[in-house]
Amino acid sequence: MTSDSDTVLGLSASRCWNAVRLIQGLLALVVGYALFTLEFGLVVNAAIPLAVTFLPALVRREFEYEMGAGLALWIATAAFLHAVGALGPYELFGWYDSITHTVSATLVAGVGYAVVDALDQSAESVDVPGEFRFVFILVFVLAFGVLWEIGEFASAGLASVVGGEPVLAQYGTNDIVFDLLYNAVGALLVAVWGTGYFDGVAGLVGRRFGRTRDPP
């Protein structure tokens, strides 16, 4: 069963899946390099994104739902950008962090859309107007972004106590402002143009909620 788009940027489903496998292989190399050089922070920043790329396979196994190839590549690309950033681009190029936050925020926005759409379809008594969905997606992403920034501060604090480099880098107040700004950009992109990519995920979440009415 599939519902999500199987293409992205004109790539066929097979090419999308091949790109996902290539990204997984590259991330595995980064994890191996980090283990060899005993860089714990890099191990975490590469191993977790690598695990995230297997989310479509996990969903297929646990819920018998085939996530679209385009969405799978979208997830893998966001994971890859973060892992590569930990190798140095985050510190070398100020714009790289902005791109990563924007791409990651689009996925968080997709999750927010899936949740609110599933709630809307869960029962006759629930009716979520389009304007509220738009606001919910934006607030959902910004709330997640605030939690992420708190995590960065906590990581820096922990590193100062136990020693070593923080797992999540934090570059000051200006960095927080720009991070949240580009999170909002990603949220707006999905809210205005990208919700269709997450309709299948919304349907899956709705079934987990025990949806009692069909979507309009």
Burial class (CB in 10 A: 0-12, 13-18, 19+), 60: middle
Question: Model confidence over 164-174: pLDDT tens digits?
Answer: 677 776 677 78
The one-character DSSP state at 108 is: H
Predicted pLDDT of residue 30: 94
Give the distance, in angstroms, between the CA of residue 138 and the centroid of all CA atoms in the same chain.
15
Residue 10 above 80 pLDDT? no
Confidence at residue 13, expressed as pLDDT on a 0 to 100 scale: 84
Q: Where are the domains of the chain?
A: 1-87, 93-216
Exposure string of 16-33, with b = 16+ CB inside 10 Å and e = fewer, is bbebbeebbebbeebbee
pLDDT of 2 reads: 46
Q: What is the mean pLDDT of residues 28-54?
A: 92
Q: How confident is the model at residue 1 (pLDDT cuts 50, 70, 90)?
A: very low
| pLDDT confidence of residue 3 | 45
What's this model's pTM, rounded to 2 decimal places?
A: 0.84
Quick one: pLDDT band at residue 212, thresholds 50, 70, 90? very low
Q: Name the pLDDT band for 103 (thresholds 50, 70, 90).
A: very high
